[in-house]
Amino acid sequence: MGLLENKVIIVTGASSGIGRAASLLFADHGAALVLVARRAELLEEIVHEIQRVGGRAIACAGDVTREETHRRAVEAATGNFGRLDGAFNNAGAVGRMAPLARLETADWKAILETNLTSAFLSARAQVRAMLDSGGGSLVFTSSFVGNSVGLPGMGAYGAAKAGLGGLAKALAADYAHRGIRANILLAGGTDTPAAGTEEQKAWAASIHPVRRIARPEEIASAALFLLSDLSTFVVGSGLWADGGNSATKVQAVD
Q: Which residues contact 109 (CB under 8 A, 6 or more apart)?
A: none
Query: pLDDT tens for residues 96-144?
Result: 889 989 999 999 999 999 999 999 999 999 999 999 999 999 999 999 8
Query: pLDDT tens for residues 46-65?
Result: 999 999 999 999 999 999 99
With cut-offs at 50, 70 and 90, classify the pLDDT of residue 207: confident
What value does the CA radius of gyration of the chain take, rounded to a whole number of Å?
Answer: 17
The question of whether 157 is a catalytic residue gets the answer yes
Q: Which of 216, 168, 166 has the alpha carbon at shortest distance from 191?
A: 216
Instruction: Kindly provide the b/e burial profile for residues 120-148, where b requires at least 16 CB atoms within 10 angstroms of the residue's own CB.
Output: bbbbebbbebbeebebbbbbbbbbbbbbb
**How far lies 187's CA from each of 95, 116, 122, 134, 148, in Å?**
17, 16, 20, 29, 11
Percent of the chain with pLDDT over 70: 97
pTM of this prediction? 0.93
Q: Is the pLDDT of residue 226 over 90?
A: yes
Domains of the chain with bracketed CATH: 8-247 (3.40.50.720)
Residue of 88, 108, 140, 157 marked catalytic: 157
Rounded Cα distance between 211 and 251, Å, is: 9
